[in-house]
Structure 1
Amino acid sequence: MCPGQNCPIKQNCSRFTDEILGRQDFFGEAPYNFTTNFCEHFIINCPDENKIRLKAYEIWQQMGYPNGKSVEHWLQAEKELIDLKV
């Protein structure tokens, strides 16, 4: 887990935004390097591509199997999965 502090990417990092469950290790300070603008411990909040694919498929089924809506279903699935984490 990361304390965030002055980190500019903390809202998109799972190490900062994930729920704290029980005993977990924390960085003493944010590992973000302002000189290189990089964090080697950054884990993006985006859901796994396979989870998005399955959710998009569910949405496609629920919508009645329409043609030409795959991008909309993908984006909706991604948003729904991200919203579940928040």
Structure 2
Amino acid sequence: MPYDLILCPGQNCPIKQNCYRFTAEILGRQDFLVEAPYSFITNSCEHFISNRPDENKIRIKAYEIWQNMGYPSGKSVEHWLQAEKELVELKTQLY
């Protein structure tokens, strides 16, 4: 995770467990927002970064895994979960 990503303390935030700014591993010195920017008026956060990869990206990655494994049948759930895991790990490395 680069040090230029500002993390969130998550106080009273209902979506903090799904936000990378809250769940990211702290490596060394890190800056934090003073308070959670979640707005209860709009039920949203303008600084939210989802932990979960986009479903279409997971679908494409699972298809690539299926192809690389030789087109086996009955393994779609395994390929989906593997694709999701790989994309989450990649996202963690990018941030």
TM above 0.5, yes or no, is: yes
Question: Structure 2, unaligned stretches of length 5 or more?
Answer: 1-6
Q: Residue 52 of structure 2 contacts residue 88 of structure 2 at CA under 8 Å; is this kept in 1?
A: no
In structure 1, stretches of 5+ residues that fail to align are none
Of 61, 68, 82, the residue aligned with 2:68 is: 61
- Percentage identity across aligned positions? 65
CA distance, structure 2, for counterparts of residue 18 and residue 82 of structure 1: 15
Residue in structure 2 matched with residue 23 of structure 1 by the alignment: 29
Tell me how far 1:24 sits from its aligned partner: 1.6
RMSD of Structure 2 on Structure 1 (CA): 2.7
TM-score of the pair, normalised by structure 2: 0.64
What's the CA shift string for 1:24-70, capped at 9, x where partnerless?
A: 210111000111111000000013665x444x2235534x4225755
The 1:28–1:4 alpha-carbon spacing in structure 2 relative to 1, beyond 3 Å, is same
